[in-house]
Amino acid sequence: MRPTTLDGYIGQEHLVGPGSVIRSMVESGRLTSFILWGPPGVGKTTLARIVAATLQVPFFTLSAVTSGVKEVREVIERARNGRFFNSASPVLFIDEIHRFSKSQQDSLLGAVENGTVTLIGATTENPSFEVIRPLLSRCQVYVLKPLGADDLLGLMRRAIETDEVLSQRQIEVAQTGALLRYSGGDARKLLGILELIESAQPEGKIVIDDAAVTERLQQNPVAYDKDGEQHYDIISAFIKSIRGSDPDAAVYYLARMIAGGEDPKFIARRLVISAAEDIGLANPNALLLANAAFDAVA
């Protein structure tokens, strides 16, 4: 189901829509190095492949999980040897670039600087923290957003109509609420859910509704990474919900952190800060309560 053209690409209109930055680069044939930052399943790898295929340039792939400095240098040497004088630079795509060590990232600098390769990196972590400054200065950073409901529904319809397995089945879409909620803006997850529902009903008509999705998935693992970007985003949303006097939102974000395995002392410590900085003299007892909670947790 991976699209092969920009017109078939779903979502990220701010990057690939008419007049947008990446579409303009592709249409002009002048590609610069960039890093795609966004959550899983929003099209980072797909976009890199489409760009390289549209420009018809050699495409090299490295995974930061399995590659070291040696592999980086080998790929750069292959790119240098295979390039003709006036041809466009080959594209080097590095998935999970935030996992590269400083020395691995250093080994890219010369090739990116002199145009031996055009670097396209993909990361789920904030590049400002995970990518070295010299490499960041040679690349633009583009942010990819979680897919919206319309994008996911478009992807679902395309899968049902064109996938070699799903298109052969009689499928009725009765409800989409649970499907969208469990997908969480992740195209890969949505396609996985469709595959799961289809494989659970090998014969007859398939009805996609909230009950079927919930029954097959049993539990929706909450999106949370206590060592990454979500760690800061969710605690920030939690504190801002308290500051904005929205108790339902505050309890929701608190539950997200607890279900995701966050350290309770971290949450209690931020509540102490909130009581002192945000609530302050408006309710002097707030700091006493927050301190008591922190002591109890400790």
Residue 260 has what pLDDT? 82
| pLDDT given for residue 276 in this prediction | 93
224 within a domain of the structure (yes/no): no
What per-residue confidence (pLDDT) applies to 187? 93
Is residue 5 situated within a structural domain? no
* Structural domains counted in the chain: 3
> Residue 160's domain spans which residues?
149-217
24 and 105 fall within a common domain: yes
In this predicted structure, what is the pLDDT of residue 245?
92
DSSP labels, the chain: ----STTT--S-HHHHSTT-HHHHHHHHT----EEEE--TTSSHHHHHHHHHHHHT--EEEEETTT--HHHHHHHHHHHHHT--TTSPPPEEEEETGGGS-HHHHHTTHHHHHTTSSEEEEEESS-HHHHS-HHHHTTSEEEEPPPP-HHHHHHHHHHHHHHSTTGGGS-EEE---HHHHHHHTT-HHHHHHHHHHHHHH--SS-EEE-HHHHHHHH--------TTSHHHHHHHHHHHHHHHTT-HHHHHHHHHHHHHTT--HHHHHHHHHHHIIIIIGGGSTHHHHHHHHHHHHH-
- In this predicted structure, what is the pLDDT of residue 22? 93
Tell me: do 85 and 21 sit in the same domain. Answer: yes
Domain C-terminal end among 143, 170, 198: 143
* pLDDT the model gives residue 83: 67
pLDDT value at residue 293: 94
| Same domain (yes/no): 251, 206 | no
Report if residue 3 sits inside a domain: no
Kindly state whether residues 114 and 167 are assigned to the same domain.
no
Q: For residue 53, which phi and psi values (nearest 5 degrees)? A: -70, -40
Are 36 and 136 contained in the same domain? Answer: yes
Check residue 250 and give its pLDDT. 95
Q: pLDDT digit string (tens) for 13-66?
A: 999 999 999 999 999 888 899 999 998 899 999 999 999 889 888 888 888 777
User: What's the pLDDT at 226?
Assistant: 65
Give the CATH number, domain containing residue 284.
1.20.272.10
Verify that 84 and 201 share a domain, yes or no: no
Q: Which residues in the chain land under pLDDT 50?
A: none
- Would you say residue 1 lies in a domain? no
